[in-house]
Amino acid sequence: MNCKKENMYQLEGSVPLKDAIPLGMQHILAMYAGNLAPLLVLAGVLSMNMDIRIILLQNAMFVAGLITLLQLYPIWKVGSGLPVVMGTSSGFIPVSIGVGTQFGYGAIMGASLIGACVEFLLGFIIKPLRKLIPHVVSGTVVLILGISLIPVGIQFIGGGVGAQSDPSFGSLQNLLLGIIVFVTIIALRQFGKGFLSISSILIGIIVGYIVAIFMGIVDFSGVATAPWFALPKPIFMIEGLEYSFHLEAIIPFILVYLATTVETIGDNTGIAVGGLGRDITDRELQGAVHADGFGSAFATLFGVMPNTSFSQNVGLIGMTKVVNRFVLMTGAVFLILCALFPKLGAIVASIPNPVLGGAVILMFAMISMSGLNLLINNGKISDRTGLIVAASCAVGFGLSNCPEVMRALPTLIQNMFSQAIVGGFVTALLLNLILPHKAD
């Protein structure tokens, strides 16, 4: 039995269920809030009805669990075979909001499907891709992604995106709820140990949700009407979510896919080095990117945003050194089982906007910090890197905040560059190719 317990620190081998289940659950709890938050934010911005929100949340759990299994146990060239946990990517929220607001949710799914196919193909050219998009480019993109999302989180604290005309927007009650969640997460992240720190966002949301119940502002009507059991519904069974394809939507999505592909490479490399104590192989990298692409395409079949590897689980593996695939498999199976109970999705969908806002502003800020970490080399940011980041942020945020300055340009260009991520990515990519390297 002790020998089996030791297997939890090895990639292969059986682990007793009494040990595997709680350790697998730990991984799921660490990613649970992050997996569902992007859909909650997008559904709020696009004012989706409660029934569709519940279905999409249910589907998000199902897809994340299934694609995690594919990463753990590869089929053909799809999957790394490493202890990777997959989930809905927060990196696509800004571009999804822009596309969804202009063209509708179906355009998000259409653009995501095309972009996912592109990412799958990128798995065949890992080495050239890493040269084309080094850390200075991917780090800049991730930094811009996080910063551009923070205003969305602030609006959620106030009462919701586009809800400024509501008399309750910005009320003391809403602000108090957001602050409680915000402070709880910071306290747990800074002073909590192990699981408490890793799961700080989930715990912060639970604390805020309980407080909101006592305040009497949680609407349980959706929970009451949701069925106890239901199978996940594919997109063609969800009214109003049919695929639609628009070039102005597809190109920005492909650019974000390029950035998240590099992030996936980083996450999987971190697991191999930090968890297994060895370098990652080209086969594992290729499988990881293929699984990202295939998983994101599969996600669109259920109306779910793109999936990617979750960095918080990389951190958890680095802390615990538990890398056994069977352990993570138990967590993935649990996530799939959760997807069969719509009432669970209904409870998540009933989280008040201020509670969600208090959590996501820190999530988005942490995304920015992960981008900043990619830009730091030997404890500092070089002059060249600083110039690329500054110029990219100036173009990205400048054009997105004042798109009217592009009035003389073609509509396609206006629509694309009105999103900060597009201007930032293109600028960073071009400057990295043009500016010479120099010793600092």
Question: Over the stretch 259-280, which tens digit does the pLDDT of each residue have?
Answer: 788 778 877 877 787 777 777 7
Confidence of residue 3 (pLDDT cuts 50, 70, 90): low
Closest to 79 measured CA to CA, from 298, 278, 291: 291
Give percent of the chain with pLDDT exceeding 70: 94
**With 70 as the cut, is the pLDDT of residue 315 above it?**
no
Question: What six digits make up the tokens of 15?
Answer: 């682990």
Question: Over the stretch 18-43, which tens digit does the pLDDT of each residue have?
Answer: 777 877 777 777 677 778 878 888 88
Q: Which residue has the higher pLDDT, 187 or 21?
A: 187
**With 60 as the cut, is the pLDDT of residue 170 above it?**
yes
pLDDT at 4: 62
Average pLDDT, the chain: 84
Helices marked H in 159-215: 172-191, 195-198, 200-215
**With 80 as the cut, is the pLDDT of residue 424 above it?**
yes
Question: What six digits make up the tokens of 375?
Answer: 């830009």
Closest to 274 measured CA to CA, from 313, 235, 238, 227: 313
Helices marked H in 73-199: 93-103, 105-122, 126-132, 135-158, 172-191, 195-198
Q: Which residue has the higher pLDDT, 347 or 178?
A: 178
CB 117 within 8 A of CB 293: yes
Question: Over the stretch 340-384, which tens digit does the pLDDT of each residue have?
Answer: 888 887 887 788 889 988 888 887 787 788 778 778 876 788 889
Residues in the chain: 440
In this prediction, residues 190-203 reach a mean pLDDT of: 78
pLDDT at 364: 79
In order, the DSSP letters of 393-418 are HHHHHHHHH-GGGGTTS-HHHHHHHT
Question: What six digits make up the tokens of 231?
Answer: 């199978």
Read off the amino acid at residue 172: L
16-20 contact pairs (CB < 8 A, 24+) = 17/330, 19/327, 20/324, 20/326, 20/327, 20/330
b/e 252-273 (16+ beta carbons within 10 angstroms → b) = bbbbbbbbbbbbbbbbbbbbbe
pLDDT at 1: 46
Q: Please give the angle made by the CA atoms of 317, 320 and 324, to the nearest 5 degrees.
A: 65
Strand partners, 75: 78
Question: What six digits make up the tokens of 285?
Answer: 């990298």
DSSP 306: P
Least confident of 62-76, 204-218, 221-235: 221-235
Closest to 84 measured CA to CA, from 281, 285, 336: 285
Give dist(CA 341, CA 337) in Å, integer: 8
Confidence of residue 195 (pLDDT cuts 50, 70, 90): low
Place of tokens 């190719």: 433
DSSP reduced 3-state for 305: coil
The full set of domain ranges for the chain reads 7-374
**With 90 as the cut, is the pLDDT of residue 49 above it?**
no
Place of tokens 């800049």: 140
Which residues are within 8 A (CB) of 125 and not within 5 positions of it... i.e. 6 or more apart?
none
In order, the DSSP letters of 160-174 are STT-TTSTTTT-HHH
Confidence of residue 320 (pLDDT cuts 50, 70, 90): low
Helices marked H in 309-382: 311-320, 325-338, 342-349, 353-375
In this prediction, residues 127-135 reach a mean pLDDT of: 80
Read off the amino acid at residue 278: R
**With 60 as the cut, is the pLDDT of residue 440 above it?**
no
